[in-house]
Structure 1
Amino acid sequence: MKKLTLAGILISGFLTAQGNAEDVPQDTLKNWSIQGQNTLMLNQAAFSNWIGGGANNVGWIAGVNYNMTYEKGKDLWENIVVLGYGENKTQGLGNRKTQDIINLSTNFGRKIYDHWYVSGGASLLTQFAAGYTDGNNPDAKKLSNFMAPGYVNVGAGFTYRPNDNFTMTLRPANARWTFVLDKDLQYAGNYGLKHDGASSLFQFGFLGTAIYKVKLMENITLVNSASVFSNYLSHPERLVLSYGGVFNMKINKYISSVVTLDLLYDHNQIWKTQMKQTLGVGLAYNIDNGIKRSDDKSNQTWK
């Protein structure tokens, strides 16, 4: 019930925000581009005397994905909000998390040449709830929790944004903190912690991020995001690499099919490539307010 309540808060809060945004006079939004999507994806299977076998299950994923950009003169301010949570309940196995993410970022830039900006920003990456080796069984070994880990980046560098579909930020000076605020997970080696009882790890290095939106065909889009981090202070060759892809097939104004793929390599977590993939069909409400000031309008994907 707590998880369902969380999903309800996510959806109702952002639908309310959408309503409020539409009530604001258009001239107050003239320098803002507000693009986003609210989703509630469902899946279900039921079996009775089915010789082929199978287990009854039901699942859901709720989330919001917003990109709010302010452009005026030489100023560029981009803000990204990604929140998502989902579960699948299978008869005989119990609940399993299928999605759990909090991803917030902001980046402000001042144009210095053509599509290049000198910029600075910050980001936060963590999750809502605890994760265990055996699904959501609290008696199993705990793997993670809210802000355990939690990653905070603060840095300065340069941003390249030639149009509304591509943004690349390069930060040669970036501070990265890994927080582990759950005492059950504060032991040496876990998420790179140096000793038992430590609650954070500081790193300083290079961070590169990019977002590329592609309109494959009418009502079918792909949003790619990637990042790389190298720690100057210790083993700079051990890169932290991540990729996220969101494949969206819009059926009509309110119904969409969404496929996501996430890849991650972080030696402080595990010396293997991590992969997560989801597929869902359900309610999706897109938002596209404000005026886009970029030169190239030929490949807008958030419509």
Structure 2
Amino acid sequence: MKKLLFIVSISLGMGVTAQETKADAAVVDTTKAWSVQGQNTLMLNQAAFSNWVGGGANNVGWLAGVNYNLTYEKGKDLWENIIVLGYGQNNTKGVGTRKTQDVINLSTNYGREFAKSWYYSMGASLQTQFAPGYEDGNNPEAAKLSNFMAPGYVNVGAGVTYRPNDNFTMTLRPANARWTFVLDKDLQHAETYGLKNDGDSSLFQFGFLGTAIYKLQIMENITLLNTGSVFSNYLDHPERLVLAYGAVLNMKINKYISSNVTLDLLYDHNQIKKTQLKQTLGVGLAYNIDNGVKRSDKKDNQAWLKK
């Protein structure tokens, strides 16, 4: 009887140990397929003058924006979604309210890995603005230059994506359809944003699109996000490249306050035959979200948006 009880005890102990081992194994794998990284900002600026000999005009301004990266990575699948929205205004005494920032930039890209860090990919993007733009800043009495979806750019294409780590992503699409929409009838004139005839509401182009994102941590609490793109239209004047570069320098003061400097450069022959430049500087509230979880050994750096 004692021998029988001894054998039963050993068997029960082994069973419990096996269950604990399985439970431990299940607990170890806590990685997730989705990660969300984002920044919400509200920048304010103000100046007031009273009997100031040096002169000046009272003004107040604000700028709000969101910048999100939602990434799904599991096995050989990689799906990255980017949401960039921003709008800002400045009111100056004697001049009125003027727009200082206006951007809508949405993109999605899905890839299937075929070699280390290389993916067959396909994706789409939308670029436009929220409100009308005028020659004299945001003065409705001046000539209108733009509006929501006027222009609006939609890209749909397929190619390859190279993503060795979270800090660098490059996508090359030798087959990319690009539509330019001008849905404001006041702007539907021949040669405006490349339109062929008066009354046209869109322009179709097909060509090569290359995009790249590079995130650089300059030092603790100072990061630089670089984005660039190039498009060549196979169907008409492929030498007239559409070139764009954007930079966001983020200098974090503490968890909720930061300073942002942005720079945008654009050359598009169909808009104006000159290089366009936009620069902003602001200090204000910024709240970062980063629930990114390392899903593989190569995801070794998410410091660019850490709290």
Structure-2-length-normalised TM-score: 0.88
Partner of 1:249: 251
Structure 2: segments with no counterpart, 5+ residues: 1-28
Partners of 2:284 and 2:295 lie apart in 1 by 32
Instruction: Quote the Cα distance in structure 1 between the aligned partners of 2:35 and 2:169.
Output: 14
Instruction: Give the 3-state SS of the residue equivalent to 2:303 in structure 1.
Output: coil
User: TM-score if structure 1 supplies the norm length?
Assistant: 0.89
Amino acid at match of 1:167: T
Equivalence for 1:278: 280
Which one of the candidate residues 145, 156, 163 is aligned to 2:158?
156
Identity %: 81
Candidates 288, 300, 303, aligned match of 1:300:
303
1:190 Cα offset (Å): 0.1
For residues 265 and 76 of structure 2, what CA distance do their matches in structure 1 show? 35
Q: Does residue 184 of structure 1 match 2:186?
A: yes
Q: Contact (CA 8 Å) 1:29, 1:290: kept in 2 or not?
A: no
Q: For each residue in 1:176-230, what CA deviation from the matched residue of structure 2 results, as whole angstroms up to 9, or x when unmatched?
A: 0000000000000100000000000000000000000000000000000000000
| Structure 1 residue ranges without an equivalent (≥5) | 1-26
Give deviations 1:111-146, integer Å, cap 9, x for gaps.
000000000000000000000112222221100000
SS in 2 for 1:184: helix
Quote the residue 1:287 is aligned against: 289
In the alignment, the residues of structure 2 paired with residue 267 and residue 38 of structure 1 have an alpha-carbon distance, to the nearest angstrom, of 33
C-alpha contact 1:67 1:80 (8 A) present in aligned 2: yes
Indicate the residue corresponding to 1:99 in structure 2: 101
Counterparts of residues 106-255 of structure 1 (less than 5 Å): 106-255=108-257
Partner Cα distance (1:45, 1:199) in 2: 42
Query: For the Cα contact (< 8 Å) 1:191–1:268, is it kept in 2?
Result: yes
Q: Secondary structure in 2 aligned to 1:290?
A: coil
Distance 1:229 1:209 in 2: 9
Q: Counterpart of 1:211 in structure 2: which amino acid? A: I
- Code of the residue aligned with 2:266 in structure 1: it is L
Q: Distance in 1 between matches of 2:295 and 2:203?
A: 40
Alignment partner of 2:304: what SS? coil
Q: Is the 8 A contact 2:165 2:301 kept in 1?
A: no
Alignment correspondent of 1:82: 84
Offset from partner CA, 1:53-92 (integer Å, 9 cap, x none): 1111111100000001100000000000000000111111
Structure 2: which amino acid aligns with 1:198? D
Aligned length: 277
Q: Which amino acid aligns with 2:48?
A: A
Mapped to 2, the partners of 1:268 and 1:292 lie a distance apart of 43
Change (3 A) 1:28 1:132: farther
SS at match of 2:186: helix
Q: Which amino acid aligns with 2:269?
A: H
1:203 is matched by which residue type in structure 2?
Q
